Structure 1
């Protein structure tokens, strides 16, 4: 199912600026011949804004906080916050051991309806790690949004954890753009 937000022009722009070929080890440890250098689309202010605008309709109604995962989810959640007016939280991989010693910075999502925001999802491991911290604190996200679902098991792994992954684009949509 393709939505207006996943128009071929946006998929093509993302592919042209960020798709690399070669041999790459992914966070999951798997080796792939395709890699999306998300920092290329995240550092392009026009493309990043267009991505945020396209993600906007995918946010569940009633969402009160957008929680971006370190590091790639941070630019996306910041721009998404700008285009929606919904406050942003920033989720660290590890709680810092100084200052506030928190794993989450920015807007509090405690007791609020919130979604996780990620750049590229392969195995879903980074989201699952964040989810474990949040659940230990009694917090449950509504869903996880991402720019690209690589279609390599992440959506299924998150479903097993009871979390729905809502991608802007899939690997197949980007490849066919």
Structure 2
């Protein structure tokens, strides 16, 4: 890992790894919690993450698809850095107004690179990729800030979506130790 990425991992970990008593989605209680929105809400950290993502984008990317909710600020910053248009991908199409799944532009016939904050199993990315493909988009890559998936846990290979990450959970853990 480069010095810049090591520093980024350390700064994200220091900012986002909280100590205390936290009720997890699973119902378990933990003495530690990773609050990803703390780096996404910090403009300097957000810019550093998005800057590190620029080189991860496939060359044929035509549209950035920021996944609701955590991928939206990253996609917005990445769009600003690259000049690529961004769409904001809902978990499900809204049931009123335009009834769109992807807000902000058309995806039909375009190469969309998905943007996500954290990928663990890839479930949200999987669902977004399938839904966007049904609307004519070409989706084969997700770029994420942090890949927390364990070997074999990701559902993305089954739909031929590659994951490109700035950092992994192991990078964050190593930065906390070192």
Distance 2:77 2:145 in 1: 13
Over alpha carbons, which structure has the higher Rg?
Answer: 2
CA deviation digits over 1:77-136, x for unaligned, max 9? 000101111110000011111110111101322211220000011111111111221222
What TM-score, normalized to structure 2?
Answer: 0.87
Distance 1:7 1:106 in 2: 31
User: Where in structure 1 do 4 or more consecutive aligned residues deviate above 4 Å?
Assistant: 21-24, 29-34
Give the RMSD, CA atoms, in angstroms: 2.2
CA deviation digits over 1:138-161, x for unaligned, max 9? 323130011011123587321122
Pairs aligned (count): 173
Structure 1 residue 35 displacement after superposition: 3.7
Structure 1 residue 24 displacement after superposition: 5.1
Q: Look up the match of 1:25.
A: 24
What TM-score, normalized to structure 1?
Answer: 0.88
| SS of residue in 2 equivalent to 1:71 | coil
Q: 1:76 to 1:140 in 2, by over 3 A?
A: same
Would the aligned equivalents of 2:87 and 2:103 in 1 still touch at CA under 8 Å?
A: yes
Distance 1:58 1:123 in 2: 20
Q: Which runs of 5+ in 1 are unaligned?
A: none
Q: 1:49 to 1:145 in 2, by over 3 A?
A: same
Q: Look up the match of 2:44.
A: 46
Q: Look up the match of 2:68.
A: 70
| SS of residue in 1 equivalent to 2:154 | helix
